[in-house]
Structure 1
Amino acid sequence: MNNDLVHLRDPFVVPVYVEKKYYLFGTTDKNIWEGKCTGFDVYVSEDLEIWEGPLSAFRAPNDFWADKNYWAPEVHFYQDKYYMLASFKADGKRRGTQILVSDKPIGPYIPLTDEPITPKEWECLDGTLYIDEEGDPWIVFCHEWAQVNDGEICCMKLTKDLTATISEPMLLFHASDAQWSYHSIMTSISNDKGQYVTDGPFLYKAENGELLMLWSSYTEKEYAIGIARSVSGEIVGPWIHDTEPLKLKDGGHGMLFKTFDGKLILTVHSPNVTPYERPIFIPMKDEGGKLYIDKEGIGGLVNEL
């Protein structure tokens, strides 16, 4: 199938060089907002245009603790295995990011531990893995606006095997710290409470060595991606924000990857309306740590910068 037929939110692409194949993960359950979920699917392509799938990547075992809101899986190759970080929730239990593992990019993925890695009393989502210059792993995640009103992005250091944390949560920034972020336009959120969304952090080491973070929130009109920069070059920051988000038409929750011929690609879902979300692939340029859209995107998503 082509891109227009792939329905998912929160796209995440894993290029596997030995196979010359791209693995596309995302939020794929039909009941993503309400009702019981089943798992995550994966799509496979050689050219980012025609995809095989959907194929089963994760199906919840009978004793799995969560049965709703299976969101935003992303997969990282680390220590010769593939690790999936994804968000889960159950009635009476906080939303959290759990780590799963597989020997193969396609799966099947199984839980690495019995519970989420994020704080038990926090509502958390969209955990991403970051490996620092010393080779130590960190989880970067969102402390959800639904609990704290002004959404946060936090980090914790992990053990080498990713089974536990070895630091307390550290606040990196609030959503409202970014000049472009606006209290949410989502109809389910009351704007007069000053609630600001943080979604989808993703770490990227720029060509000039600068550590960047892509993350999503809302402008006054639509869903968008902003860029934060670590002043210290380390995950703990401090972080400063570009004054304007990338100019995408209602597109967000993005990540960057390189094609097999070295091109830098941003993938996002758009529009941010269920069930119309589709993965979009946008050529990018990295010029001295500044990210630019390389050319017009697919389907009118991209406006000229």
Structure 2
Amino acid sequence: MTLAPLGVAANEEAVAVDAPLLLPQMPLHDPWIVADPQSRTYLLFTRNEQAMTGDARLGIMAYRSRDLKHWSKPAVVFALPQGTWARDGAWAPEVHRWKGRWYLFATFHNEGAALPSTGARQLYRRSTVLAVADSPAGPFRLEKGGKPVAPAERMTLDGTLYVSPAGKPWMVYAHEWLQTTVGTMEAVPLDDTLAAAGPPVELFRADRADWVKGQKQPDGSTVYVTDGPELYRTRAGTLLMIWSSYGQGGYVQAQARSKSGTIEGPWEQLGPLVMRDSGHGMLFRTFEGKLMMVLHRPFNNALGKLYEMRDAGDRLEVVREATELDLEAYPTHPCAVSRGPTGTPIPGC
């Protein structure tokens, strides 16, 4: 059966005037897409790159599209204010609606802010912080002075919002392998202001998934990575988590399932969804109601890749690669387009 293309504009020449970029021209890591119903626009969030925006500030930028194929030049939607504890990062931006407002979750770090270390690896502060706006397009304002949501003494990243059927918010995040050797997924309960309301709960360890391959380190240790969690409740009420780690041949996009249907689990691993050095995916629905996943591929110098998905009730399934939208943005490298829209070199090229 031939499936119809998803949302490609009829008049591509007219669209390309305001949205001149295609996914193979858009270097991005940890992509997050919001389908904004008010503007009928897709917003794609990633770390700000000066080559793309002309803005050197540390923060988050967003591309816009009406058809998931043609994208505008990006604009900065959040810049970390001077004087906060963080100095680098702006990883894994996520934008969630909560209590009538839009909250940006993003991971920052500061290698100069040391944490106690018991081994050879140097530990430092890394955490997810929050910013808020009245619109998913921003501009976002830093919340709580940049105070980390998870305990500040833990090296954490990739915080995502999960809301239980009873309306209770949690932040799920990866506890960094740098600190734990075996990375874990954890969840911290939140109050209505999205501040921590209790101690974190460990959900699972990376080495419990049989497809995960440990990564040898210069000091001789073997570490196991957890990365990029997102929660999804299926049409049958099953609670799933998509997440990433390293498997045979590189980065892997996988899924896990809560046996209890609650965030506390226990969690069972369902295996890979996408391999080919691909991961840190997220799920969204098009304005036509189709379930989609966007991820980055390959891990280094990453580009966006789109998949049409199926909610199978007890798991997610990949239907197909949406190559009419991403133009099969692999293994094409952004360095094929050596300069960004601002005329400055693309990082790494």
TM over 0.5: yes
What is the aligned partner in structure 2 of residue 157 from structure 1? 189
The partner residue of 1:42 within 62, 66, 69 is 62
What is the aligned partner in structure 2 of residue 264 from structure 1? 291
Conserved? CA contact 1:183–1:220, under 8 Å: no
Pairwise CA RMSD: 1.9
Deviation by residue 1:74-129 (Cα, 9 ceiling, x = unmatched): 00011111101110111215100101111111111111112111111110000000
What is the aligned partner in structure 2 of residue 284 from structure 1? 309
Deviation by residue 1:14-65 (Cα, 9 ceiling, x = unmatched): 111121111111233469xxxx961110011111111112111111212222
Q: For 1:51, what is the secondary structure of its paired residue?
A: coil
Conserved? CA contact 1:184–1:191, under 8 Å: no
What is the aligned partner in structure 1 of residue 239 from structure 2? 211
Q: For 1:120, what is the secondary structure of its paired residue?
A: coil
Conserved? CA contact 1:217–1:225, under 8 Å: yes
What is the aligned partner in structure 2 of residue 178 from structure 1? 209
Cα distance change of structure 1 residues 278 and 72 upon mapping to structure 2, 3 Å threshold: same
The size of the alignment, in residue pairs, is: 291
Amino acid at match of 2:260: S
Moved more, 292-301 or 9-18: 292-301
What is the aligned partner in structure 2 of residue 67 from structure 1? 87
Q: CA deviation at 1:5?
A: 1.2
Q: For 2:132, what is the secondary structure of its paired residue?
A: strand
Higher relative contact order (CA closer than 8 Å, sequence separation 6+): 2
What is the aligned partner in structure 2 of residue 103 from structure 1? 134
The partner residue of 1:83 within 103, 106, 113 is 103
Cα distance change of structure 1 residues 282 and 65 upon mapping to structure 2, 3 Å threshold: same
Conserved? CA contact 1:251–1:301, under 8 Å: no
Cα distance change of structure 1 residues 146 and 134 upon mapping to structure 2, 3 Å threshold: same
Cα distance change of structure 1 residues 125 and 30 upon mapping to structure 2, 3 Å threshold: farther
How far apart in 2 are the matches of 1:297 and 1:260?
16
Amino acid at match of 1:236: E
Q: CA deviation at 1:7?
A: 1.2
Q: CA deviation at 1:293?
A: 1.5
How far apart in 1 are the matches of 2:29 and 2:307?
16
Conserved? CA contact 2:23–2:329, under 8 Å: no
Q: For 1:65, what is the secondary structure of its paired residue?
A: coil
Cα distance change of structure 1 residues 24 and 142 upon mapping to structure 2, 3 Å threshold: same
For structure 2, the residue ranges without an aligned partner over 5 or more in a row are 1-20, 114-123, 332-349
Q: For 1:134, what is the secondary structure of its paired residue?
A: coil
How far apart in 2 are the matches of 1:58 and 1:26?
11
- In the alignment, does 2:249 pair up with 1:221? yes
Q: CA deviation at 1:301?
A: 5.7
Deviation by residue 1:265-286 (Cα, 9 ceiling, x = unmatched): 0100011113xx1111111112
What is the aligned partner in structure 2 of residue 250 from structure 1? 277
How far apart in 1 are the matches of 2:150 and 2:315?
31
Q: For 1:4, what is the secondary structure of its paired residue?
A: helix
Deviation by residue 1:122-160 (Cα, 9 ceiling, x = unmatched): 100000000111111100001100110000100011011
Alignment of structure 1 residues 95-174 onto 2, 5 Å: 95-114=126-145, 115-162=147-194, 164-174=195-205
Amino acid at match of 2:153: E
How far apart in 2 are the matches of 1:168 and 1:221?
36
What is the aligned partner in structure 1 of residue 227 from structure 2? 199
Q: CA deviation at 1:172?
A: 0.3
Q: For 1:9, what is the secondary structure of its paired residue?
A: coil
What is the aligned partner in structure 1 of residue 32 from structure 2? 12
Conserved? CA contact 1:183–1:191, under 8 Å: no
Amino acid at match of 1:85: F
Percent identity (aligned): 37
Q: CA deviation at 1:198?
A: 0.3
Q: For 2:144, what is the secondary structure of its paired residue?
A: coil
For structure 1, the residue ranges without an aligned partner over 5 or more in a row are none
Q: For 1:237, what is the secondary structure of its paired residue?
A: coil
Deviation by residue 1:157-202 (Cα, 9 ceiling, x = unmatched): 101111x2111011000100111111127xxx34942200000000
How far apart in 2 are the matches of 1:191 and 1:19?
51
What is the aligned partner in structure 2 of residue 28 from structure 1? 48
Cα distance change of structure 1 residues 205 and 288 upon mapping to structure 2, 3 Å threshold: same
Conserved? CA contact 1:156–1:165, under 8 Å: yes
